[in-house]
Amino acid sequence: MRAPEQAQRPLRVAIVGSGPSGFYAAGALLKRKDVTVEIDMFDRLPTPFGLVRGGVAPDHQKIKNVVRVYEKIATKTGFRCYGNVRIGEHLSVDTLRELYDMVVFAVGAESSRSLGIPGEDLQGVHPAREFVGWYNAHPDYRDQAFDLGSKSVLVVGVGNVALDVARILASSRNELRGTDIADYALDALGNRGITDIWILGRRGPVQAAFGTPELKELVNLEEAELVLEPNAHQLDEVSQRWFDDNADKRVRKNVTYLQEHAQVPSPNAGLRIHMWLCVSPVEFLGEDGQVTGVRIEENDLYAADDGSVRSRGNGMFHDVQAEMVFTSVGYRGIRIPGLPFDERSGVIPNERGRVEEDGTVVPGVYVVGWAKRGPSGVIGTNRADAQETVEQMFEDLPDLSASPVRTAEQAHTAISTAQSAYTDWDDWVQLDALERSKGAELGRVRLKFSRVDEMLRVLGKLAE
Give me the DSSP letters along 128-173: HHHHHHHHTT-GGGTT----TT-SEEEEE--SHHHHHHHHHHH--H
Residue 3 has pLDDT above 70, yes or no: no
Homologous superfamily of domain range 4-110+332-423: NAD(P)-binding Rossmann-like Domain (3.40.50.720)
Instruction: Give the integer Cα–Cα distance in Å for 43 and 216.
Output: 35
The residue among 160, 130, 121, 177 whose CA lies nearest residue 326 is: 130
The rounded distance, in Å, linking the Cα atoms of 312 and 304 is 11
DSSP of 393-404: HHHT---TTTSP
Is the CB of residue 239 less than 8 Å from the CB of residue 251? no
Instruction: Please report the pLDDT score of residue 403 as a whole number.
Output: 82
Which pLDDT score, from 0 to 100, does residue 4 have?
37
Q: Look at residue 6 and tell me whether its pLDDT is greater than 50.
A: no
Q: Is the pLDDT of residue 266 over 80?
A: no
Q: Is 64 helix (H, G, I), strand (E, B) or coil?
A: helix
Q: 114-329: what CATH class?
A: alpha beta
Asked if 12 and 419 touch (Cβ cutoff 8 Å), the reply is no
342-398 pLDDT, tens digit per residue, is 999 999 999 999 999 999 999 999 999 999 999 988 999 999 999 999 999 999 998
pLDDT band at 462 (very low <50, low <70, confident <90, very high): confident
Enter the pTM of the model.
0.94
pLDDT, position 1: 39
369: nearest Cα among 14, 12, 23? 23
Mean pLDDT of 93-97: 97
Q: Which of 72-81, 262-271, 330-339 has the highest mean pLDDT?
A: 72-81
- Residue 463 pLDDT greater than 80, yes or no: no
Q: What is the pLDDT of residues 151-178, one digit of tens each?
A: 999 999 999 999 999 999 999 999 999 9
Q: Where are the alpha helices (DSSP H) in 201-301?
A: 212-219, 237-246, 249-260
- The runs of H, that is alpha helices, within 272-418 are 370-373, 381-395, 408-418
Residue 94: phi and psi, rounded to 5, are -60, -40
Dihedral angle, C-alpha 18, 21, 23, 26, nearest 10 °: -120
pLDDT value at 41 more than 60:
yes
**Distance from C-alpha of 10 to C-alpha of 36, rounded to nearest angstrom:** 5
Outline where 47-159 has alpha helix (H).
Answer: 51-54, 61-64, 67-74, 93-99, 128-135
Q: Which pLDDT value is given to residue 269? A: 66
Count of all residues that appear for the chain in the document: 464
Domains of the chain by residue range? 4-110+332-423, 114-329
Does the structure show a pLDDT above 60 at 210?
A: yes
Name the strand (E) or helix (H) holding 29. Answer: helix 20-31
Task: Supply the mean pLDDT for the chain.
Answer: 93
Q: What is the pLDDT of residues 116-153, one digit of tens each?
A: 999 999 999 999 999 999 999 999 999 999 999 999 99
**Residue (of 351, 448, 453) closest to 49 by Cα position:** 448
Give the containing element (helix H, strand E) for 24. Answer: helix 20-31
Q: What is the pLDDT of residues 433-458, one digit of tens each?
A: 999 999 999 999 999 999 999 999 99
Distance CA 443, CA 422 (A): 32
pLDDT at position 2 is: 44
Do 280 and 311 touch, CB atoms closer than 8 A?
yes
Mean pLDDT calculated for residue range 185-197: 96
Using alpha carbons, select from 302, 203, 298 the residue that is nearest to residue 255.
203
Amino acid 36: pLDDT: 94
Q: State yes or no: pLDDT of 7 exceeds 80.
A: no
DSSP 3-state assignment of 406? coil
Average pLDDT over residues 312-316: 96
pLDDT of res. 84: 98
pLDDT (0 to 100) of residue 162:
96
